[in-house]
Amino acid sequence: MTTAISPTTLALGEYPQGPAPLPSWNEGSAKQSIIDFVRAVTTTGHPHFVKPEERIAVFDNDGTLWSEMPAYFQLAFVFDRLKALAPQHPEWKDKPLYAAVLQGDMKAVAAGGLRGLLELATVTHAGMTTDEFAKIAEEWIATARHPKFNRPYTDLIFQPMLELLAYLRANGFKTFIVSGGGVEFMRVWADKVYGIPPEQVIGSSIVTKFEMVGGVPVLTRLPELNFMDDNVGKPVAINMHIGRRPIAAFGNSDGDLQMLQWTTAGTGSRFALLVNHTDSVREYAYRVSTLGKLNVALTEAKAEGLDCRGHVDLCIQLPTKYRTHLPECAEIFKDEIRLERLAKDHP
């Protein structure tokens, strides 16, 4: 049964409130429901109070914390790696999938489906130590540019989601990334960009092997999938790595549905939110991305009593040098994304 939490009945939480929370968000039910939820679970004596150690919030990354179009950003890394390695592999030009990447034929690449993309990822991410891979990923993320915005990919993060992460942490939450992206790719930059340390990043992985190389212990990355952290894999990974059921979950696609279901199925006060991209001018309007879609999750959320009235102003986090050339942050992507929330309270 869904129970509304009235802000008029809540005392202030036990953590300092500071400035008004979530300043980039539009006033509306989505923003207010987050504030009401946080106040409820952090207010000592409130029936929905949650102990600090149990305040776990999980976030998808692609399309939730940063943009994911025209393709997942890690795929751009995969393609660049394939091109860099191609001179060492002349046989690749005779393999249709590899040749499609080298020729820039993204339609042919997409036709290879998930299996083809996983093959490309394992080939380009393996054959090196974990330290070597981290260095390569770090160099790429520092220099690569988005094809539409011509800015570093780490600039294309959503300011309101940064505010949400900070707001939750200020109220005693521990925030985790739970993404289908490569865990070691994200760990390189997630702390700097989101304030989420490597040990709180959960993602897909390839097999690694311990070995001694020249008398030095290393972990070598092998071209074999170890774990796919998507769909049903997300709650499994949460249970494996965190060991607690989250009380809040945030996603943007059907690949996040099971994570949201697992989160909201627990006892006590629970919160789940879907990000629906709707602005084709200032970002991208879509319900289908490279490998994902927002269909079943949205339908199920509506069936559970979704409130679709809340909107949020989202903007790309821009370096200072760009701010003089663009309108204020709140105007760049006004109504770019509709945040559609589902807050559930269980007896």
Residue 106 CB partners (closer than 8 Å, separation 6+):
71, 100
Whether residue 2 is contained in a domain is answered as no
Q: Is residue 14 part of a domain?
A: no
**Taking residues 274-284, what's their average pLDDT?**
76
Which residue, of 113, 143, 173, is where some domain finishes?
A: 143
Helix pair 73-85, 96-103: axis angle to 10 deg? 100
CB atoms within 10 A of CB 162: 16
Residue 210 lies in a domain: yes
Q: What is the mean pLDDT of the chain?
A: 82
Domain of 39 in residue numbering reads as 22-70+145-346
pTM: 0.84
Judge whether 7 lies within some domain. no
Amino acid 32 reads Q
Residues 138 and 159 in one domain: no
Say which residue, 153 or 274, is predicted with more confidence: 153
In the chain, beta strands by DSSP E: 56-59, 128-129, 174-182, 201-213, 216-227, 248-251, 268-277, 337-346
11 in a domain, yes or no? no
Question: Does residue 139 sit in the same domain as residue 167?
Answer: no
The predicted structure's pLDDT at residue 301: 66
Instruction: Please report the sign of the dihedral spanned by the C-alpha atoms of residue 161, residue 167, residue 170, residue 172.
Output: negative
- Domain identity same for 180 and 238: yes
Q: Identify the band that residue 290 occupies on the pLDDT scale cut at 50, 70 and 90.
A: low
Indicate whether 167 and 116 sit together in one domain. no
In whole angstroms, what separates CA 150 from the centre of its chain?
21
Query: Residue 314: its pLDDT value, please?
Result: 40
Are residues 199 and 185 both part of a single domain? yes
Q: For the chain, how many structural domains are there in total?
A: 2
Residues in Cβ contact with 108 at an 8 Å cutoff, skipping those fewer than 6 apart: 96, 97, 100
Query: Quick one: which of 193, 244, 202, 170 has its CA closest to 60?
Result: 202
Cα separation of 292 and 278, whole Å? 16
pLDDT at residue number 305: 52
Neighbour-count burial of 338, counting CB atoms closer than 10 A to its CB (0-12 exposed, 13-18 middle, 19+ buried) = buried
Q: Is residue 339 domain-resident?
A: yes
Q: Which residue has the higher pLDDT, 319 or 238?
A: 238
